[in-house]
Amino acid sequence: MKLNGRALLVSDAQRSQIEEGLASLKMAVKWSVSVRGVAPEKYLPEQATVAAWALIVSTAADADRLQAWLDDRN
């Protein structure tokens, strides 16, 4: 995984692993829904299952720390 500036696109399945890393780095981030899956007709689009999240770190230094953590995992 590679950050794009201070942003990282994370699949819903990977979010818990990334959150563990963020906790170990003592880093607070902002999460926002990036992509939702298909919703059944009876539901509103915002009720669809989240497929991907966008994570935004506060500073470029935090982005470097997170990228180093991601690189160490590979």
Distance between CA atoms of 59 and 61, rounded to whole angstroms?
5
To which H or E segment does residue 63 belong? helix 60-73
Q: Which pLDDT band holds residue 12 (cuts at 50, 70, 90)?
A: confident
The pTM of this model reads 0.77
pLDDT recorded at residue 53: 84
Q: Please give the structure tokens belonging to residue 7.
A: 């942003």
Q: Residue 31 pairs with which residues in a beta bridge? A: 55
Give the pLDDT confidence of 20-48 residue by residue, as tens digits. 999 999 998 989 887 766 555 665 555 55
Number of H helices, E strands in the chain: 2, 3
pLDDT recorded at residue 42: 62
